Amino acid sequence: MSCMYSFGSNGQGQLGLAHDRDVDTPQRSILAGDGRMSKIACGGNHSVVLMSNGTLAGCGDNRRGELQGECALQQVRGWTAIEVPAPVVDVACGWDTTVVVDTQGHIWQRGGGRYEFEQRQLRLDPAGGRIAVYGCFQNFVVVQGSQVYGWGSNTKCQLQARKCRSVAEPTLVCDSGSVAVDYVTMGKDFLVVVDKNGRMAHASGRLPAGFHLEQQEERVGLEVRCMWTSIHVWDTCQSTVESFGRGTHAQLFPQVGVGVPIADFTAGSEHGILVTAGQEEPHPHYDVHCWGWGEHGNCGPQRGSQPGLQLVGRYATRPRVFGGCASTWIVLDQR
């Protein structure tokens, strides 16, 4: 069973709480049932949870059909089951859209003014290995093996070299060759492809200031995360985190104050979430910290964009963390 905690921006009920006020400390977000939660995906004002049995639940904004079929239903208050064409293997959200990939390799999209799931033309091979979908803002990509297919906005050439307003259907963005793609991390108008060796295999779009792929291509063992306008690189071999971007609101990773091993990190729209592993006996623990733009309480009670990490929670077991648009999610799995 998974327990979810959420905080931050909640104007459309996207935190899955019983109200729609912003909160600045982790609040229990109650999902019916006792299943294990696989993933939380967040759009501009809606949130979707994928359960390990392939079902989906969502909450928040439905003005553009992000979650439900009724156009009169402007907001989904509290976690509500989302009807899906078939069991889901992965889910991602764009600004006002939701995309799922089902067990048969079909890709379905809703939202953006479409009030039901519509099938994309590409079908992936359900027997061809892991399929994953990633989304941010106006773009989605699906990954299988060494191939990345993307669609959506191409105004910054994030999908293909020839600039155009949008690419309607999944189109090959890159092929990483002999090493399979591990994941894709996406900003507002750029994306970075990371292979199974932890190497950045591809980057395209309006890349943040100071980031040059050719300076990164030889590095391995990297964990890369993107906020909307910045890239953050955790070198797991060197135990360093490097950030690229303007950092006008303290989004760049604070280089001081991390005296314990990093266990995980992720990013929301303009804030980061860091998990550290405290080793002190007899009570080893995990701390969750936030940094960056926290005006909606998504980095904790100190809402200014002050530099440094803000401790938001301490847990006896390793938490999983997810970031949304000015929202932060902490998941604890209970045996």
Q: What is the dihedral angle through the alpha carbons of 47, 186, 253, 305, rounded to the nearest 10 degrees?
A: -50
Cβ 330 to other proteins shortest distance, Å: 19
Question: Contact 230/246 with Cβ under 8 angstroms?
Answer: yes
> Measured between alpha carbons, how far is 193 from 184 in angstroms, rounded to an integer?
5
Q: Which positions ≥6 away from 126 have C-beta within 8 Å?
A: 103, 104, 105
Residue 235 phi, psi (nearest 5): -90, 100
Cβ 294 to other proteins shortest distance, Å: 11
Among 79, 140, 228, 234, binds other proteins (CB under 8 A): 228
Check residue 137 for interaction with other proteins (CB under 8 A).
yes
Piece of the chain touching other proteins by CB under 8 A; list 103-111, 142-150, 214-222, 243-251: 243-251
Among 2, 5, 6, 9, binds other proteins (CB under 8 A): 9
Cα-based distances in Å from 244 to 134, 139, 248, 261: 21, 21, 12, 22
Cα-based distances in Å from 211 to 162, 206, 207, 217: 21, 10, 7, 12
Among 273, 312, 326, 330, binds other proteins (CB under 8 A): 326
The contact pattern for other proteins, residues 18-37, with x = CB under 8 A and - = no contact, is --------------------
Check residue 270 for interaction with other proteins (CB under 8 A).
yes
Q: Give SS3 for 203.
A: strand
Q: What is the chain's length?
A: 335
In this structure, the strands spanning 240-244 and 262-267 are unpaired
Piece of the chain touching other proteins by CB under 8 A; list 5-13, 81-89, 236-244, 273-281: 5-13
Which residue number, 64 or 289, has a Cβ lying nearer to other proteins?
A: 64
The contact pattern for other proteins, residues 94-133, with x = CB under 8 A and - = no contact, is -x--------------------------------------
Check residue 64 for interaction with other proteins (CB under 8 A).
no
Question: Contact 51/40 with Cβ under 8 angstroms?
Answer: no
DSSP 210: T
> Measured between alpha carbons, how far is 179 from 215 in angstroms, rounded to an integer?
19
Check residue 211 for interaction with other proteins (CB under 8 A).
no
Among 199, 232, 296, 320, binds other proteins (CB under 8 A): 296
Check residue 293 for interaction with other proteins (CB under 8 A).
yes
Question: Contact 112/65 with Cβ under 8 angstroms?
Answer: yes
Piece of the chain touching other proteins by CB under 8 A; list 6-14, 82-90, 111-119, 196-204: 6-14
Which residue number, 276 or 305, has a Cβ lying nearer to other proteins?
A: 305
Which residue number, 151 or 293, has a Cβ lying nearer to other proteins?
A: 293
Cβ 227 to other proteins shortest distance, Å: 8
